[in-house]
Amino acid sequence: MATIKELSIKCGVSVSTVSKALNGYKDIGDETRRNILRIASEIGYFPDSNARALKMKKTYNLGVLFSTMFNHGLRNEYFAHILASFNEYATNRGYDINFIEHNIGNRKMSFLEHCRYRNFDGVCIACADFFDSEVLDVVNSKLPVVVIDHVFHEAISILSDNMDGMRQLTQYIIDQGHSRIAFIHGTNSSVTHNRLVSFYQALKDNNITIPPEYVIEGVYRDAEVAESITQKLLDLPMRPTCIIAPDDYSALGVMNTVRRNGLKIPDDVSIVGFDGISLAQALEPKLTTIRQDTDRIGAEAAKQLINLIENPMATTISNVYLKVQLMRGGSVRNMNPVMGDEESQKD
């Protein structure tokens, strides 16, 4: 690729003048500027990003922490979709993205060291072990940071309104006449905690009490764990009429187990998920779930991060909660007594 020096020779002016014209400085003659811009675009000149970064302390490169632990990462549809929209927004604002890793070739570097090595302008922590000290080091560094699905005091957080989602979902189940509702929740985290709080609150608001055995800790996106827990729930003397899975993928495990027990969905056992991935639509019956708006989560994360980078004093460090949507599928049985011309359901 042509260097600025070659370009300056073609233009018959100095390197400084070319640089200033290209970067929109005002103190350049109109004619000179036009000439430079024209020739630059003719030969397809672009400044070398490395040289530019070295001088300007700005790489236009964002680090994305996208760990594959806990069944997360690119192989997880929810996170892959978030990354897609994050990348689209970032690109539109002129930023590229790199994944943050810690075993780069032979060198073991911490996440933070990788960030410094590459000089990222900012970092998005999309999926990670939020209690890992390496992650905390990044959050506590001077780097602009945005976090998805977790709340740190020191960084901007983007997340779905999980409390509202769980409230809507639970209320919907209750409205369908269920009171024996089991909840397989994910591993402990602030998101999980809030969903649990909201679940219990909705029960309380409706004067429903459930046995403690109905609430069991599972693992997000682990169908096998969901299967064994479901078996336990089905083996209870008084089994639940509805099971809330920690996510849509786990819901598939719940479904399989229910069927393996010779029970029908939703006639014998109702099932709901959380996330609203495409799998939910593919299942038969369609899964009732809460759809998280992955397009907005990713775009909002990128937007907040870039604003924080470019305009730190005009960007507040706060939490952004995004609306969720109840997706009514066919996996929850209506247990209410028939009335009016509502569809009837046999017991």
Partner DNA sequence: CTGAAAGCGCTTACAG
Task: Return the exposure string of 9-47: e unless at least 16 CB atoms fall within 10 Å of the residue's CB, then b.
Answer: ebbebeeebbbbbbeeeeebeeebbebbeebbeeeebeb
Binding segment for DNA (CB under 7 A), chosen from 23-31, 181-189, 251-259, 322-330, is 23-31
Amino acid letter for position 64: V
* Interface with DNA, residue 14, by CB under 7 A: yes
> Which residues, 49 to 78, sit near DNA by CB under 7 A?
51-52, 54-56
Nearest distance, CB of residue 269 and a copy of itself, angstroms = 16
Cα separation, 252 vs 118, whole angstroms = 40
The residues binding a copy of itself (CB under 8 A) are: 1, 44, 46-51, 53-54, 59-61, 68, 73-75, 77, 80-81, 83-84, 87-88, 91-99, 101, 103-107, 109-110, 113, 116-119, 252, 278-279, 282-284
104 binds, among a copy of itself, DNA, none (CB under 5 to 8 A by kind): a copy of itself
Nearer to DNA (CB atom), residue 119 or residue 281:
119
107 binds, among a copy of itself, DNA, none (CB under 5 to 8 A by kind): a copy of itself
* Interface with DNA, residue 22, by CB under 7 A: yes
Whether the ω angle into residue 240 lies within 30 degrees of 0, i.e. cis, is no
* Interface with DNA, residue 93, by CB under 7 A: no
Which candidate, 159, 173, 228, places its Cα nearest to that of 203? 173
Residues whose CB falls within 8 Å of the CB of residue 135, separated by 6 or more in sequence, listed in order: 65, 111, 125, 128, 129
Nearer to DNA (CB atom), residue 46 or residue 131:
46
- 129 CB burial (10 A radius; 0-12, 13-18, 19+): middle
